[in-house]
Amino acid sequence: MEYFKLLKRKTIAILWLSQLLSAIGDQIYLVSACWLAAQISPRALACVAASEYVSAFLFSFVAGVLTDRFNKKKLMIYADLGRAIAVFTLPIASLYGHISTMHLVLVGIVLGSLGVLFDPCLVATIPVLTDERSLLQATNGLIDFTKRLARALGPAIAGLLASFVAIHFLFSLNAISFLISTAGILYVSSQVDIEDINKRASDERGLFWGELLGALRLIKTHAILAWEFGSFFFANIAYALIYTTGLPLLAKERFGNNIAAYGLLISIYGVVSIIANLIEGNRKIRKPALTVFRAYALWGLGFSILALAPNIVLAGFGLAVAAISAPAVFITIVTMVQRDIPETDTGKVYSFRTAIMYSGLGLGLLLSSYLYGKFTTIMVMPCAAAAFLVIGISGILRFYKKEKV
pLDDT for residue 337 is more than 70: yes
Q: Which DSSP string corresponds to 272-309? A: HHHHHHHHHTTS--S-HHHHHHHHHHHHHHHHHHHHH-
Residues 136 and 285 in one domain: no
Q: Which of 127-141, 199-213, 242-256 has the highest mean pLDDT?
A: 242-256
Q: How many domains does the chain have?
A: 2
**How many helices (H) and strands (E) in the chain?**
17, 0
pLDDT of residue 301: 95
Q: How confident is the model at residue 195 (pLDDT cuts 50, 70, 90)?
A: low
Residues 137 and 198 in one domain: yes
From the list 154, 153, 105, 143, the residue with the least C-alpha distance to 121 is 143
Q: Model-level pTM?
A: 0.84
Task: Indicate whether 210 belongs to any domain.
Answer: no
CB 358 within 8 A of CB 230: no
pLDDT of residue 204: 52
Q: How confident is the model at residue 267 (pLDDT cuts 50, 70, 90)?
A: confident
Distance from C-alpha of 108 to C-alpha of 86, rounded to nearest angstrom: 9
Task: Indicate whether 330 belongs to any domain.
Answer: yes
Residues 47 and 128 in one domain: yes
Query: Residue 350: which domain range?
Result: 215-405
Residues 245 and 361 in one domain: yes
Residues 168 and 263 in one domain: no
pLDDT digits (tens, 9 = 90+) for 293-313: 999 999 999 999 999 988 889
Of residues 61 and 195, more confidently modeled: 61
Task: Indicate whether 145 belongs to any domain.
Answer: yes
CATH of the domain at 62: 1.20.1250.20
